[in-house]
Amino acid sequence: MSSLLSDANQRLEKALRYVSLPQDVVERLKYPKASLTVSIPVRMDDGSLRVFQGYRVRYDDSRGPTKGGIRFHPNVTLDEVQSLAFWMTFKCAAVNIPYGGAKGGITLNPKELSKFELERLSRGYIDAIADFIGPDVDIPAPDVYTNAQIMGWMMDQYSIIRRQITPGVVTGKPIAMGGSLGRETATAMGAFYAIQTILPKLGRHPTGTSVAVQGFGNAGAVIAELLFNAGYRVVAVSDSQGGIYAEQGLDIPSIRQSKESTRGIKAVYCEGTVCNIIEHSVITNAELLELNVDILVPAALENQITADNAHRIQARYIFEVANGPIRSDADPILASKGILVFPDILVNAGGVTVSYFEWVQNRIGIYWSLEEVNQKLKGMMTQETERIWATAQELATDLRTAAYVHALNRLGEGIRARGTREDYLK
């Protein structure tokens, strides 16, 4: 078993102590259902040919067609994609979406490609995996360094192959191609609703609650601004190049505006009317993680907190907006420090929830307003956050284990409905 997937399974093994499931269920969930590795030849703008490695993994489909994003990143491996598909399986079950888990990716640095090259790559990827996906089989979505335009290219290519318009094959598309309002901000909105549901249970109020956000991309920038607007004191943010810190709090709208124009946040407080001048320190991503804050929001990549740095984490609460930002070997260290971790399979489930809404809208041909989408998202996130919190209290266990128990019970129902060993021995 791969190292990342093995690490992910550590959480599964712990949760299994709290549930009574047929052995068939456990065996089914230990391994992905299907994995595909493809080579994607792309004619570059200078006439040369490059071949890129791509992956798609369908982990489990006992509750419905599989669902998961596609990432473009230099570190994409089959190991990583399998682990992310595993997490997606439990994420969909945790928030009661009728999907299984999947994931995909291509190994490259997308910043090195022109837009024309990215389009050829995106369409070539769909050419290679077209028989592996479909609206009733496996539905891709955006992930790291992919966006609505890339999803539009992919949906269009699939439709060309099938000779019919098939909007339901991909979610996170442009609105004009059948995308859903609210999809681009859904991950952050879902996390915000989870935080707002939990905060009163911790005896806290937004005013006076300090926050640090690692990762200032699609999810991190939006959650930082949502928290800022709700009255939280956001004291630090960072991107891949580094970050900034100001104890009295940062002006997040100004940072977002400057980041969009300069593509960086290190020197974000500039002269003129766009930015406010404020005393701040330049910090690294590692330093941000170790700040003494109330809430830490890892919203970048996986494995940011490990056994190597967990003992230096000072935040009281961690809300995982990224996928797998904490390795399993860090869990007991954080627990011993009394740090409450709210897991990714709950906190960042807003993205897949609104992807599900988009898929539903594509299939029924009726599209909802932004207010309707956000209201439905708030209802689902609040309900499942309450249920997972209650499970943690009932079992006297941590929130991550409670979330996995909650998801396992639903996955068990789906697998058990098809028949298990116990049924055949009656």
Burial class (CB in 10 A: 0-12, 13-18, 19+), 338: exposed
Tell me, yes or no, whether 400 lies in a domain: no
Single out the catalytic residue among 30, 33, 91, 103.
103
Domain that holds residue 128: 32-177
Q: Are both 190 and 159 inside the same structural domain?
A: no
Instruction: Clarify whether residues 171 and 86 are in a common domain.
Output: yes
Residues 312 and 191 in one domain: yes
What's 74's domain CATH number? 3.40.50.10860
Q: How many domains does the chain divide into?
A: 2
Instruction: Clarify whether residues 196 and 339 are in a common domain.
Output: yes
Q: Model's pTM, two decimal places?
A: 0.89
Query: Residue 271 has what pLDDT?
Result: 39
Query: What are 284-289's contacts with CB under 8 Å, separation 24+?
Result: 284/238, 284/242, 284/243, 285/214, 285/238, 285/240, 285/242, 285/243, 287/243, 287/245, 288/212, 288/214, 288/236, 288/237, 288/238, 288/243, 288/245, 289/212, 289/214, 289/313
pLDDT attached to residue 412: 87
Are 127 and 234 in a shared domain?
no
Q: What is the pLDDT of residue 280?
A: 67
Q: What is the pLDDT of residue 388?
A: 96
Same-domain check for residues 62 and 171: yes
- Which residues, including other chains, have CB under 8 Å from residue 361's CB and lie 6 or more apart? 178, 180, 367, 368
Same domain, yes or no, for 237 and 164?
no
Residue 67 inside a domain? The answer is yes
103 is catalytic: yes
First to last CA, the chain: 34
Does residue 231 fall inside a structural domain?
Answer: yes
Residue 132: inside a domain: yes
Shared-domain flag, residues 227 and 140: no
Please tell me the predicted confidence (pLDDT) of residue 302: 80
Number of Cβ within a 10 Å radius of residue 127: 15
Whether residues 338 and 193 fall in one domain: yes
Q: Do residue 97 and residue 225 come from a single domain? A: no
Q: Is residue 161 domain-shared with residue 296, that is, in the same domain?
A: no
> Is 14 a domain residue?
no
Contacts of 181 (CB under 8 A, 6+ apart): 175, 367, 368, 369, 370, 373
Residue 404 falls within a domain, yes or no? no
What CATH number is attached to the domain comprising 304? 3.40.50.720
My answer on whether 170 and 213 are in the same domain is no
Residue 48 is predicted with a pLDDT of 97
Among candidate residues 347, 377, 405, the one where a domain is terminated: 347
- The rounded distance, in Å, linking the Cα atoms of 220 and 218 is 6
- Tens of pLDDT along the chain (426 residues) come to 456 667 777 777 888 888 888 888 888 888 899 999 999 999 999 999 999 999 999 999 999 999 999 999 999 999 889 988 988 999 999 999 999 999 999 999 999 999 999 999 999 999 999 999 999 999 999 988 899 999 999 999 999 999 999 999 999 999 999 999 999 899 999 999 999 999 999 999 999 899 999 998 888 999 999 999 999 999 999 987 888 999 889 989 888 887 766 655 554 443 333 334 455 688 888 899 999 999 999 998 888 999 999 999 999 999 999 988 999 899 999 999 999 999 999 999 999 999 999 999 999 999 999 999 999 999 999 999 999 999 999 999 999 999 999 999 999 888 877 777 776 766
**426 in a structural domain:** no
The pLDDT score that the predictor gives to residue 279 is 56
- In this prediction, residue 124 carries a pLDDT of 98
